[in-house]
Amino acid sequence: MNNFKINNKRYMKSTFMKTTIKNLLITGLTASMLVLTACGSGKTTMFRGDASHTAVYGDDAPIRLNSLHWKYSAPDKTYSSPVVADGTIYLGSNDKHLYAVNQKDGQLKWRYKTGGNVESTPAVSDGIVYVGSWDKTLYAIKASNQSLVWKQETKGPISSSPIIVDGIIYFASEDGNLYAADAKTGFRKWSFNAKSPIYSSPAVFGNYIYFGTLGGHMYAVNRQTGQEYWKFKTNGKIHSSPAVDERNVYFGSDDKRVYAVNIHTGQQSWVKKTSGPVLSSPAIYHDRVFVGSKDGYIYAYDAEDGTREWEFRTEASVFAPVSVASNTVFVGSTDGHLYALNANDGAKRWKYRVDGNIYSGAVISENHVYFNSVAGSLFAVK
C-alpha cells in the first residue's frame, strides 16, 4: 500500500489478485499488461488488484449486505491494505509485524516481525510474500515456513507497496528511489532517483512504470532500463497511487485536483478540481475513473474527457483507495463506514459501520469484502 502524510499524520492507501497476461497493441508497439483475478490458486497478488492498479476484482461481490462473517483484531493500528492469496489474507501492522490470517475463519496463521511499522501492502508471488517496512527494508518471506528468502535495504522507510511483473519486483522508498530487483533472488537491476520522497505505489502498463512523489511530479520510467520517459508537474504533493489504462495515467494531488495524463506524451488529457486534497487512489472501470477526496465526496469521471458522471457525499474525508467488483464501487471513509455504491449512478447499495477510520482499500474475493480499520480490525463481510 502506500502510506501518506497530512498534518504530520500518516495515512495508508492500500490490495491484490491472480496472474494472467494479455498482449495489447498500443500505437503499433506490443505491450504486456498484467491482469489479475481475485485470489484462489493464483500466482501473484498485489495492492490495487493488478499491476496497472485498476482495482477491479473479478470475483462476485455482495450487492446486498447480509452479515459480518468474521473479525480479526491486530494489537496495533493498521494502515496497510489486505491482500488475499491461496486462502490467506496478509496485512501489515504498526506493531512491526506482517500478519497471515485464514481467509475462511479469520484465525491467525502466523506473523513475521520486522524492525518498523508495516504500512506497505504486501505482494505475493509463487509462495513468497514481499513487504516493505519503516526499518527501510523490503522483505521476501516464504509463506510456508516464514523463512527469510532475501531482503533489500534502502535509505528510507518503505510505505509504498511493491508490484511484481515478469519476475521483477518494483518498489519505492522515502529515500526518493524507485528500485527494480529480481523477485526470486533480490538481485538489484536498477534504481531511479526521483529526488523526492515516494509514498505513491508504482503502477505498470506496457514497458513503463508510473509513480508520484512528494515533490509533486508524476513520473513515467522505462521498466527495463530505469530511464526516465517523461515527468509531469502538479501543484501539490502526490500521495495518490496512479491507475493506468491504454490512454492515460489517473491520479490525485494535494492541490485538490484529479489528473489524467497521456501515457505516451506526458501531456495533460484533462484535470478536474475538487474541494479538498486528493490522496485517494483511483479505480478504472467501464471507462470511468472513481476516486475519493478529503472534501468527503466520492467522484465518478468519464475516463476519456473527465466529465463528472456522479458524486456521492460521505460524512467525513475520504483518503482510502477505491475498489470495484460486480458493478459496485467500494470505498472507506473517515466517518467509520465502508460504502458500496452502484457504479452506474452512485446510488448507495449499503454501508457498514466499523470501529474506526478507514484509510485502506477493500479486497473482494469469494463473495466477501475484506477491509480493515485504523484501529487494527480486519473485517470479512458478506
Residue 29 has pLDDT above 70, yes or no: no
* Residues 199, 173: Cα–Cα separation, whole Å: 7
DSSP string for residues in 23-65: EEEETTEEEEEEEEESSSS-SEE-TTSSTT---B--S---SS-
Torsion of the alpha carbons at 241, 36, 42 and 144, rounded to the nearest 10: -10
Q: How confident is the model at residue 279 (pLDDT cuts 50, 70, 90)?
A: very high
Phi, psi for residue 371 in degrees, rounded to 5: -160, 165
- For the chain, give the percent of residues with pLDDT over 70: 89
Task: Return the pLDDT at 22.
Answer: 34
> Please, how many CA atoms are within 13 Å of residue 16, restricted to the half-sphere of its CB?
39
> Please, how many CA atoms are within 13 Å of residue 179, restricted to the half-sphere of its CB?
27
Residue 25 has pLDDT above 50, yes or no: no
Query: What are the residue boundaries of the structural domains of the chain, listed by start?
Result: 2-381
Residue 2 has pLDDT above 70, yes or no: no
In terms of pLDDT, which residue wins out, 142 or 23?
142
Residue 7 has pLDDT above 70, yes or no: no
Task: Return the pLDDT at 44.
Answer: 84
Least confident of 17-21, 84-88, 252-256: 17-21
Residue 194: closest CA among 208, 173, 180: 173
Least confident of 2-6, 344-348, 366-370: 2-6
Cβ–Cβ under 8 Å, residues 85 and 65: no
Task: Return the pLDDT at 268.
Answer: 98
Cβ–Cβ under 8 Å, residues 201 and 241: yes
Average pLDDT, the chain: 90
Q: How confident is the model at residue 72 (pLDDT cuts 50, 70, 90)?
A: very high
pLDDT in tens, 41-71: 346 899 999 999 999 999 889 999 889 999 9
Task: Return the pLDDT at 43.
Answer: 67
Distance of CA 47 to CAs 33, 283, 292, 327, 376, Å? Answer: 15, 12, 17, 20, 18
Which amino acid, 363? Answer: V
Q: Which residue has the cell 499524520?
A: 9
Least confident of 13-17, 133-137, 176-180, 359-363: 13-17
Residue 19 has pLDDT above 70, yes or no: no
Superfamily assignment of 2-381 in CATH?
YVTN repeat-like/Quinoprotein amine dehydrogenase (2.130.10.10)
Residue 209 has pLDDT above 70, yes or no: yes
In terms of pLDDT, which residue wins out, 37 or 115?
115
pLDDT in tens, 306-335: 999 999 999 999 999 999 999 999 999 999
Q: How confident is the model at residue 34 (pLDDT cuts 50, 70, 90)?
A: very low
Cell reading at 104: 475462511
